[in-house]
Structures are given as C-alpha cells and as structure tokens.
Amino acid sequence: MSTTPVTDLSRLCIHTITTKPWDIETAARNYSASGVKGITVWRDALHGRDIRKTGDMLRQNDLKVVSLCRGGFFPARDRRKREIAIDDNRRAIEEAFELGAKLIVLVCGADPSQSLEDSRKQIQEGIVSVLPEAISAGIRLAIEPLHPMYADTRSAINTIHQANDMSEAIDSPWVGVAVDVYHLWWDPNLEKEIIRCGKNNALLAFHICDWKSPTLDFLNDRGLMGDGCIPIRKIRSWVEAAGFIGFIEVEIFSTEYWKMSQNKFLYKIIDAYKKHA
Ligand code: ZN
C-alpha cells in the first residue's frame, strides 16, 4: 500500500472537460507544457475535427490518450430510443479507435419512467450488444457507478457493488469498472469492493476531484482535490492495493473554476495533485 506524496506528474491525466473553456488543441499544448502526461477526451471536444489527426496531435504533445468519455445512456422505456443509444455507443467505439483511446467510460443512464431494475437490465443488454464491436476495435468498456443523486436520469448503477456485479455477470476481460471518488467516497463497502474489482482484473480507471461542503449544484460544483471531504489518498491506496497502476485522472465540472483563468486553474490542479492525490 502506497501513500507516498506524489512528486512527479507521470501518472497525472486531465479530462478535457476539466478545462472546458479551452479547445482540445489549447488544452493539449498547456497540459503538455506543464508536464501532464495523460488526457481523457470528452466527445464534445472532438466536434468538427478529424479524429485521427486529433489523436496524432495529442501524441505529438507527448500525451497518452487515456480514455474517451463517454458512452452509455442505454436505458429507455421506448425501444427505438434504446436502439439509438446503441448506435451512438457504436459510434463512440469508432471514435475511440480513430483517436487511439483504449478505453471508453460508460455513464450508463437511467429512465425515471421505469424501475431502476429495468434500467439496469437494459444497461447490461446495451453493453452486451456493443461488446463485439468493442472487442474487434481493441477497446475496453468501463462501467462508472454514479452517486445515487443521479439515479433518476444519469445512472441506475450507483454503487461499485452493482458495477462489480454487472461486470462479473457480463464476464468479459473487455468490460470493467471506473472508480470515481466523487461518486463512491461515502460507501462503507468501498475498500472491500475495490479489492473485489482488482481481483477480477476489472479496475480500469481512477477519477479524482473533491466533494465540497456544501455542494451548491448537483452537477457543476465539484471541488479541486483538497477543497472538500473526500479521503482521496486513502482511496488511492485501496485502488493501488487492488493492483491498479494506471493514470490518476482529474475530472472536475465546476462553473466556479471554469470562470477563472484556465492557466491559473491548471497550476492549481497540479499543485492540488501533488498535495492531495
Ligand atoms: Zn468520472
């Protein structure tokens, strides 16, 4: 178990949405100049671009493309909508392939007009139906459990226990779990379930930020590491005890931070990463 302070940035990855005011070219240039080594690309950042060339541009900036965010949103009461969602996930797989990302993070979805059980069943069906394309493209799919406050529309998978159950039920080396401290920090079973996930070789991604108290907005008031009450370093030690050696990804949606100079914000991210991750 390692809780040594971070002294280098070799495992630091930043999500493009974290510095949303920057386009992907500006983000790449600035991340790279600051010594950041990984980037997770949100699909909106690719809008209107040649995806292959964008992937090359990221690698030329010495950035590893850690994952593409996001696929998912499978459940819908209406069958036609479920088919549209599956098509969109197939497109996400093509985009990840062109970009050179080996992982897609799934925000699995939920439809409040049906039960959570029905939504979970449709999530599993959705993942299984796109799995052949993912495998032939060489791309893994990570189920990201979301905090229960999002159980109405964003995800019917709200604990890592449920994500582990689904990943085990699908039983493919191409499907695993993304651990995001923002969604999971409160869970009394977190350590146990992280270890279970690691035993399955299914821990595919680790996302960090902080939980501000009070949180003023359900979606866009995430804190920078150290702003809140999440024991990030403790959770990281569990993730590493489970065998995870991948990137530590900073994923922050924050109206407040998006308002400030993004260069200053990037400096704060790196400082907070060194002190609290
Ligand atoms: Zn996340």
Within-domain flag for 265: yes
| Average pLDDT, rounded, for the chain | 97
**Nearest-10 Cα torsion for 247, 253, 256, 257:** 30
**Ligand 1 center–CA 144 separation, angstroms:** 7
Dump pLDDT digits (tens) for 61-77: 999 999 999 999 999 99
**Nearest in space to 147 (alpha carbons), one of 197, 115, 190, 198:** 190
Q: Report the b/e string of 116-155 with b at 16+ CB within 10 A.
A: beebbebbbebbebbbebbbebebbbbbbbbbeebbeebb
DSSP state of 217: -
Q: What is the pLDDT of residue 6?
A: 54
Within-domain flag for 2: no
Within-domain flag for 70: yes
**Ligand 1 center–CA 214 separation, angstroms:** 20
**Ligand 1 center–CA 147 separation, angstroms:** 10
Tell me how far apart the alpha carbons of residues 258 and 22 are, in angstroms, rounded to a whole number: 9
* CATH number of the domain within which 203 lies: 3.20.20.150
Q: What is the pLDDT of residue 5?
A: 52
Domain total of the chain = 1
**Ligand 1 center–CA 264 separation, angstroms:** 23
Which residues of the chain carry a pLDDT beneath 50? 1-3
**Nearest in space to 25 (alpha carbons), one of 34, 13, 16:** 16
Structural domain boundaries enclosing 217: 12-276
Within-domain flag for 30: yes
Within-domain flag for 136: yes
Within-domain flag for 6: no
Within-domain flag for 5: no
State the residue for tokens 């501000």.
212
Q: How close are the terminal C-alpha atoms of the chain, in Å?
A: 14
Please enumerate in sequence order all residues whose Cβ is within 8 A of that of 276, keeping only pairs 6 or more positions apart, or say none: 210, 225, 226, 232, 233
Within-domain flag for 253: yes
Q: What is the pLDDT of residue 19?
A: 98
**Ligand 1 center–CA 220 separation, angstroms:** 13
